[in-house]
Amino acid sequence: MMSAGEVLFAEIVFDNGERINIRKDEYEFVGLYKNRDCWVDGDEIYLDESKVRKLRRLRQRMGRGGGPNQQQETPQQRNEMRERDCIGKRSVINKSRLPKDTREALAISDNAFDNFALKLNKAARFDCRVKIEEYKGRLCKPHLSDDLRDIVRYEDEDGRNVEAAGNPKYLSIHRPLANHEKNAWLDLNPEPPRTADEDGKKIAKKKRGAIKRLFDQSKYTERKFRFCETDKDGFLYRPSAYFGDLDFGEIAEHHRHSIEALNLSVSGCEGTIDWRLIVGLGNESVYDTSMTLHHVYGIPYILASAVKGVVRSWIITERFGQDEKAAIKDKGFCDVFGCPKKIKDTLSYYNEERQGKVWFFDAFPLSRPEIEVDIMNPHYMPYYSNGEPPADYHDPKPIPFLTVKCGTVFQFLFGVKEKECADKMIESGQFHGRKPSDVVKEWLKKALEEHGIGAKTAVGYGYVKDCKIEGES
């Protein structure tokens, strides 16, 4: 935190060549904002020259010019100056070119976000809970102000929202609390007077302790690198799905129109996740595990490469007995998926590298996906990591990861590059006179229902049910 008028020492160079020299007494803007002053006062940034001059004169009158006997302004005067002469952090952020949801996330938090946490925050927020303690049958329920009611709620043992007058067991918070919110909360729960009875003092102490624990859990500290935490009574905190006011149907429709603009004959199907879906489990992450989130929308989706890979793998398994060398010698396989020139000593049908004539695209959810926590629980970590013999005295190490809950509907799309390509594929007879799009739709449906998509399909994850092909009832 910086004092009034204090500035940094640095030189900032932008991509367009503009420079900002941060000097002892002012920011010197070179280029578009040349000769403009910029002062920093805590979280406030002063950009307007007239307001800076006005602030300087005010501070000179208050004896801020220097010397050991400087007169410090009172908190009330300081607040008045802020309201009158400065541009708040929120308004500065809102004028930036950051996405709207990013600006909102930064404006309400005193903490910095790394890139992955920012994206993950759009899909899953880390809720934290503290148990409401009792003392001799009297609940230690903290008081909530109107400003906190939207983010803090009373919950029962199953996590359902209940009224404070009911029988709450937990206090839950759904985003990080800022310092001023914590202080406001503590002001609503003051220390008991000295004349209070011992029971009242103990209840107040437990109450303030619960508030402090909840606040500490809500901050973006090392806890942000943990998916969930439990105790014998259930989850202390866990991620819950949160996507703002996104219209998933509109996103999927926009995605389809973008594909059609490529002059492709677009087809596909819609499928519902049968149990749970794991996407991007092994991607690089600040966590032990990861989840694929769209870089713009922050929603879970399935990469086009994964869709194509699943269909290609299913065809090789079902039609060619898991023999990829036999597959690349088939003309229809090479036309749809493309092929290398050869695999080891086996040449492909065209004896050259060929690009497939069918393009697969990312699969977007048509409904709001729910995020669930699952765990892997390896029992013999020394055996896996160091090669030690597995033994019963080894401790299991639960590894939590995020999944998409069953019931989410995804839209799977592909397109044939050109109409002429489709006509040639039909005339060649390799699809027995049928349209390539009809054949690939059947392959896609069977691959999703029988092979699954994503990670851990061997143990039941990633299977799709009720796969509805376009054009069918």
Cα–Cα distances in angstroms (integers) from residue 76 to residues 44, 180, 390, in the given order: 16, 16, 67
Nearest to 359 by CA among 341, 382, 336, 342: 336
d(CA 415, CA 151): 45
What are the respective helix, strand and coil percentages of the chain, to the nearest 5?
A: 35, 20, 45
Q: What is the pLDDT of residue 30?
A: 40
Enter the tokens of residue 67: 């010397």
How many other C-beta atoms can be found within 10 angstroms of the C-beta atom of residue 42?
Answer: 14
pTM: 0.66
How many other C-beta atoms can be found within 10 angstroms of the C-beta atom of residue 203?
Answer: 21
Cα–Cα distances in angstroms (integers) from residue 84 to residues 6, 44, 77, 168, in the given order: 19, 12, 10, 44
Which residue stretches of 124-242 are H helix? 179-188, 198-218
Contacts 24+ apart (CB under 8 A), 426-431: 428/331, 430/331, 430/332, 430/335, 431/332
Average pLDDT, the chain: 75
d(CA 175, CA 215): 10
Nearest to 223 by CA among 126, 111, 122: 126
Alpha carbon 320 to its chain centroid, in Å, reads 40
Query: Model confidence over 154-188: pLDDT tens digits?
Result: 888 777 788 777 788 888 887 767 777 777 777 77
How many other C-beta atoms can be found within 10 angstroms of the C-beta atom of residue 216?
Answer: 14
Across 135-149, average pLDDT: 79
Q: Which of the two residues, 41 and 314, has the higher pLDDT score?
A: 314
Coil, strand, or helix at residue 114?
A: coil
Enter the tokens of residue 447: 């691959």
Coil, strand, or helix at residue 99?
A: coil
Half-sphere exposure of 169 (CA within 13 A, CB side): 9
Coil, strand, or helix at residue 402?
A: strand
Confidence band for 397, pLDDT divided at 50, 70 and 90 = confident
Confidence band for 4, pLDDT divided at 50, 70 and 90 = very low
Q: Are 328 and 343 spatial neighbours (Cβ–Cβ below 8 Å)?
A: yes
Enter the tokens of residue 243: 């996507």
pLDDT score of 255 more than 50: yes
Least confident of 211-215, 283-287, 422-426, 435-439: 422-426
Single-letter residue type at 256: R
Residue 13's beta-bridge partner residues? 19
DSSP at 451: I
Specify the residue for token string 């905190």: 237
pLDDT score of 56 more than 90: no
Which residue stretches of 73-197 are H helix? 75-85, 89-94, 100-107, 115-123, 179-188
Cα–Cα distances in angstroms (integers) from residue 265 to residues 374, 376, 377, 451, in the given order: 39, 42, 46, 26
Q: How many helices (H) and strands (E) does the chain have?
A: 14, 27
Coil, strand, or helix at residue 189?
A: coil
Confidence band for 84, pLDDT divided at 50, 70 and 90 = very low
d(CA 331, CA 311): 17
Confidence band for 219, pLDDT divided at 50, 70 and 90 = low
Q: What is the pLDDT of residue 107?
A: 60
Q: Which of the two residues, 34 and 261, has the higher pLDDT score?
A: 261
Query: Model confidence over 347-362: pLDDT tens digits?
Result: 999 999 998 889 999 9
Q: Which of the two residues, 155 and 413, has the higher pLDDT score?
A: 413
d(CA 226, CA 194): 41
Across 118-147, average pLDDT: 76
Confidence band for 429, pLDDT divided at 50, 70 and 90 = low
Coil, strand, or helix at residue 94?
A: helix
